Amino acid sequence: MSPAISPDAAAADPRLPYLAELERRALWLSTWMIHNANHIRPNHDGMKVGGHQASSASMATILTALYFAALRPEDRVAVKPHAGPVFHAIQYLAGRQTREKLENFRGFGGVQSYPSRTKDTDDVDFSTGSVGLGVAQTLFGSLVRDYVRAHGWGLDQPEGRMVALVGDAEMDEGNIFEALMEGWKHGLRRTWWIIDYNRQSLDAVIREGLYSRFEEIFKSFGWDVVVLKYGSLMDAAFAEPGGERLRSWIDTAPNQLYAALTFQGGAAWRKRLNQDLADNADALALVARRDDEELAALMGNLGGHDLVNLLKAFEAADNDRPTVFIAYTVKGYGLPLAGHKDNHSGLLTPAQAELFRDKVGVRAGREWEPFEGVHLPEDDLRRFIGDTPFFGAGPRRYSAPTLPVPEDFPCPRQPSLSTQAGFGLILNELGKAETPLASRIVTTSPDVTVSTNLGGWVNRRGLFAREELRDLFKSERIPSTFNWDFSAKGQHMELGIAEMNLFLLLSALGLSDRLFGERLIPVGTLYDPFICRGLDALNYACYQDARFIIAATPSGVTLAPEGGAHQSIGTPLIGMAQDGLSTFEPAFVDELSVIMAHAFDYVQREGKEGGSVYLRLSTRSIAQPQRAMTPALAQGIVEGAYWLREPGPNADLVVAVTGAPTPEAIEAVGLMAEDRRDIGLLAVTSADRLHAGWTAAQRAREAGDREARSPIEDLLDGLPSHCGLVTVVDGHPATLGWLGSVVGHRTRALGVERFGQTGTVADLYRHYGLDAQGIVAAAGALAPERPIRMRGYGHRLAQAPHLHA
Ligand SMILES: Cc1ncc(C[n+]2csc(CCOP(=O)(O)OP(=O)(O)O)c2C)c(N)n1
Ligand SMILES: [Mg+2]
C-alpha cells in the first residue's frame, strides 16, 4: 500500500486521501477474492490460483491512480492478465461488479481468470490472457481511432487514449516489438503503455538493467519514456543529508537483493544498509532516524507504489505522444509474500490472510463489504467515486447501425476464373459504387496487397495515412499498374509482413462499432499458410468477438510450383475449429459472390447470430458454370453444400469435393457415371458450416427437439445405406472425413497429409491422389466386389489394378 498521505500532500491534491483508501480497498478485495477461491469456496479442482495474488498487488496502486483519477471514459484499457482481480475489485468499488461474481472468481459464470471483453460483465475494454496481445491491441486500437476520426466520424466524442498495463516479462513477446515498428510507421499517437517493472516473471527475477534496454527501444521508435523509479518518500529522503548516498545504493542494488530485502522487511533492510552505507555518516543517520516499519515503507516506496508521483506523471504526460512508463514496483506489494522470487504462485496461508485482514482494518465476516475499515465517511468516498471522470460517465460500450449489403452484389462472369481473381474483381466492383457499405470497408494486408488481388480496390479507394503522400511514380508519369497515393480518406491500411499485426489490426478495426460507435467492415488478405504465423492473434480477435473478413490465398498444394513452404495443409481444420469464425472454401466465383454477400451481412449481426469470416481461396483458374443463381442454390452455398449432380435413387457412390480440386471430381464422376449411373457429386462450400449445422441439430435433438434437422442430414439422408462416399479436399482429409458418420456411409477421405513440393498442379494432384484417377481408385476400393468399368480409360486403369474386372 502506498504510504500514508501527509497533510501537505493532501492540501496540494485533495484526491489523495480518497485514493489511498481506495487503493487499500482494491488491494484487500483482490487478495480476498483469490484467498476465497482457494480456501473458502474452492473451485480449482486441485489447481490453486497462482499468479494473480502477487501480480494484482504489484499493480494495485497504478490501477487506483488510473481508474479513480487519470482515466477518462473515452480511454480504452488492456489490463495485464494477472491484474484481473484488482481490476474487478475496482469495478466492484465503483458499483459495476457484483459481489456474487467476485465470490465466484474463476468459478463457472464468475469473474474470469483473465479479463474478458465477452465473458466478464463489468466493462473490460480488451481481453487479455495470452501475454503480449493485449498490449499490442492498444496500439492498433489507437491507429483505428485515428482512422475513424480522419474519416470525419465520431468527432462529437472526445478523443480517447489507449492504455496498456504491461508485465515486464510480457515484454519478451515478439509481437510487441512487431507492433512497435508498425506503430512508428503509422505515426502512433495517444497511447500509454505502463510497464509494471516488478523485475519478476513466473519463474524468475529478470536480468539486471533491462529497463535501459526498454528505454532505448522505445526512444528509437519515437516514444516518450518516463521512468517512475522513486516514490515521494524516497524523493524526500534523497533531499536529506546522506540522501544521495542512499539513492546511489538503490540505483546499484541488484534486483535479486532488493527483492529479498523487501521480502525480509525492516530489520533486514537496516542490517544491510548499515553495512553498505558505513562509509557515510549522514546516510547512516538517515537510516537511524526511521524505525523498522518506516524504513521498510521507505525502501518499498518505489515509483509504481506512490500515488503522489503516479498522478504527477500521468498529468505531465497528458499530451498526444505515445508514452511508456517504466514503473518500478514490488511483486506482492503490501502482502507477506512481497518480493519473494517464488511468489508467482504464492498464496497467503489462512493465518497470513487473517493477519493481513487485521492490518487493513477489516473485521471478520465483513470481508466483502466494499468500504469496510475506511477512515473517511463512506458517503464521501462514494461521492468521490461518482465524481471521478471515468466512473462518473455513462456506458462506454457503443453500437452502430447495420449497413445494407447491395442487392445487386457483384458476380463476375468469365469462362474461366480463380476464386482469388474473383475476390479481387468483386471488391473492385464494390469500390466503384458510393454505397454506405463501400465507404466503411477497410482493407489491410501484410505486404501482399497486390499478390492477393486487392490492387484494383486500392487503386480506387487509396491508402490511408493521416498525412498525405503522393505516389511519386504517378506524379512523375512513370507508367505503373498501381496508384499508391496515401491520404486521410484512403481505405486501405498497408502493413509490414508481420501477420500478428494483421490480425491485431483486424481485431481493432472489427471492434470499432463497440469501441467508437462507428462501424467499419474490415477485410484482410494474406497467404493461407501464414494464418499459422498470426494464429494466436486471430484466436484473440475472435475471442473478443471482433468482426472481420479474411481472404487467405493462395492455399493448399494447388499452389504447386511454390513448393511445400507455401502450401497450407491444416488450415481448413483451423477454420473449422476456430470459434467465432465461419470458414468457406468455394470452387466457383458465383459461389464466392454469394458467400461474400452473406459475409458482409454476417459480420454485422449481433452476438451469436454473427461472427467473422474466413475465405480460403485459390489462384487456380477453373472453368466456371454458366448457371442462374437461384435462392435454393444460394442457400445451399451459405449452409455449406449443394448437389452439383444430384444422386439417383440407387446411388452407390457420392463424391464430395471442396474448393480447387472440383474439376478433378467432376472428371472422375463423369468417368464413373456410365457404370454408376446414380452417382452424385456434392459441392461443399463450407465444411465448417456443414459440421456446425450437424452438431447443432444433434444437440437440439438431445435436448428434446425431435424435429431438429441440419442441411447435411437433409442432403445425405436419401442415399441408400450401401452408398460409398469419397471426399476430396486440398488440405487435411479430416476436413470432410466426418461426412460418413452423418448417416453412416462407408467413406474414403482424400486430401493432403504430407508437406507439399514443387511441380505442376497435375503432378501434385497425381502425387497426393487428388486427381480423377485417384478419386476413381478410392471409389473402386470402397466396393471391391463391384469393380468400376470405364470405357476409354484403360491406360489409367492399368495403374490402378484393383479396378480391373
Ligand atoms: C503467450 C503466453 N505464454 C505464457 C503465459 C503464462 N504466463 C502468464 S503470466 C506470465 C509471466 C508474468 O510475468 P510478468 O508479465 O512480469 O507479470 P508479473 O507476474 O510480474 O505480474 C506467464 C509466463 C501466458 N499467459 N501467455
Ligand atoms: Mg513481472
Question: In the numeric block, which cell numbers belong to residue 163?
Answer: 492504455
Ligand closest to 82 (CA) is 1
Ligand 2 (ion): residues with CB under 5 Å are: 167-169, 198, 200
pLDDT, tens digit, 9 for 90 and up, residues 638-653: 999 999 999 999 999 9
pLDDT digits (tens, 9 = 90+) for 288-342: 999 999 999 999 999 999 999 999 999 999 999 999 999 999 888 988 888 787 7
| Ligand 1, atom nearest to 200 Cα | 20
DSSP one-letter code for 66: I
Give the orientation angle of helix 499-509 with respect to helix 535-543, to 10 degrees: 10
Say if CB 224 and CB 321 are below 8 A apart: yes
How remote is the CA of residue 99 from the centroid of ligand 2, in Å?
28
The pLDDT tens digits for 646-678 are 999 999 999 999 999 999 999 999 999 999 999
Task: Verify whether ligand 1 is closer than 6 Å to residue 131 (CB atom).
Answer: yes
- For 157-170, the three-class secondary structure string (H helix, E strand, C coil) is CCCCCEEEEEECHH
The average pLDDT across 184-201 equals 93
Closest ligand 1 atom to 536 CA: 1
Q: How confident is the model at residue 792 (pLDDT cuts 50, 70, 90)?
A: low
**Are the beta carbons of 198 and 168 closer than 8 angstroms?**
yes
Closest protein CA for atom 10 of ligand 1: 202
What is the atom index within ligand 1 of the atom nearest the CA of 171? 15
Residue whose CB lies within 8 A of the most ligand 1 atoms, among 170, 202, 341, for a mutation test = 202
Residue whose CA is closest, atom 15 of ligand 1? 167
- In tens, the pLDDT along 510-523 reads 999 999 999 999 99
| HSE value, Cβ hemisphere, 13 Å, CA-based, for 749 | 16
Which of 53, 82, 168, when mutated, tests ligand 1's pocket best, judged by the most ligand atoms within 8 Å of its CB? 82
Rounded Cα gap, residues 772 and 736, in angstroms = 18
Of 540, 508, 503, 509, the C-alpha closest to 522 is: 509
Are the C-beta atoms of 731 and 555 separated by less than 8 Å?
A: yes
Q: How close is the Cα of 167 to the center of ligand 2, in Å?
A: 5
If pLDDT is split at 50, 70 and 90, which confidence band does 44 have? low
Of all atoms in ligand 1, which is nearest to the CA of residue 331? 20
Establish whether residue 304 lines the binding site of ligand 1, counting it when its CB lies within 6 angstroms of any ligand atom.
no
- Ligand 1 atom nearest to 166, measured from its CA: 15
Q: What is the reported pLDDT for 796? A: 47
Q: Decide whether any atom of ligand 1 lies within 6 Å of the 331 Cβ.
A: yes
Query: Which helix (H) or strand (E) is 443 found in, with range?
Result: strand 441-446
- State the ligand closest to the CA atom of 81: 1
pLDDT in tens, 381-436: 999 999 999 999 988 999 999 999 999 999 999 999 999 999 999 999 999 999 99
| 152 CA distance to ligand 2 middle (Å) | 40
Is 798's pLDDT higher than 60?
Answer: no
**What angle do helix axes 266-276 and 292-299 make, rounded to 10 degrees?**
80
Q: pLDDT tens digits for 692-724?
A: 999 999 999 999 999 999 999 999 999 999 999
| Rounded-to-integer distance, Cα 310 and Cα 573, Å | 48
416 three-class SS:
strand
Q: Whose CA is closest to atom 12 on ligand 1? A: 201
In tens, the pLDDT along 774-788 reads 999 999 999 988 899
CA–centroid distance, 132 to ligand 1, in Å, is: 9
Q: Is 23 in the pocket of ligand 1 (CB under 6 A)?
A: no
For residue 791, what pLDDT is reported? Answer: 63
Query: CB of 310 within 8 A of CB of 234?
Result: no
For ligand 1, atom 13, the nearest C-alpha belongs to 201
Parallel, antiparallel or unpaired: strands 549-552 and 463-464: unpaired
The predicted model scores a pTM of: 0.96
Q: Average pLDDT over the chain, rounded to whole?
A: 94
Per-residue pLDDT band at 793 (split at 50, 70, 90): low
Q: What is the percent of the chain with per-residue pLDDT over 90, rounded to a whole number? A: 85
pLDDT at 342: 77
Residue 260 has pLDDT above 60, yes or no: yes
510 alpha carbon to ligand 1 midpoint, in Å? 26
Looking up cell 521512468 gives 227
CA of 710 to the centre of ligand 2 (A): 50
Closest by CA position to 267, among listed 297, 246, 293? 293
End-to-end CA distance of the chain: 86
342 lines ligand 1 (CB under 6 A): no
Q: Which three cell numbers stand for residue 746?
A: 462407408
Considering every ligand atom, which ligand is closest to the CA of 197? 2
Average pLDDT over residues 90-113: 95
Between CA 513 and CA 516 the distance in angstroms is 6
Nearest ligand atom owner, CA of 170: 1
Task: Answer yes or no: are the C-beta atoms of 122 and 88 closer than 8 Å.
Answer: yes
Taking alpha carbons only, the member of 167, 94, 86 closest to residue 396 is 94
Q: How far is the CA of 752 from the centre of ligand 1 (A)?
A: 37
Task: Report percent pLDDT > 70 for the chain.
Answer: 97
pLDDT at 612: 98
Q: Which of 488, 462, 521 is nearest to 149 (CA)?
A: 488
pLDDT band at 453 (very low <50, low <70, confident <90, very high): very high
- In short, whether 172's Cβ falls inside 6 Å of ligand 1 is no
Q: Is 170 in the pocket of ligand 1 (CB under 6 A)?
A: yes
pLDDT score at 802: 36
For residue 165, the CA-to-ligand 1 centroid distance in Å is 13
Q: 143 vs 790, which has greater pLDDT?
A: 143
The confidence score (pLDDT) of residue 53 equals 84
Q: How confident is the model at residue 622 (pLDDT cuts 50, 70, 90)?
A: very high
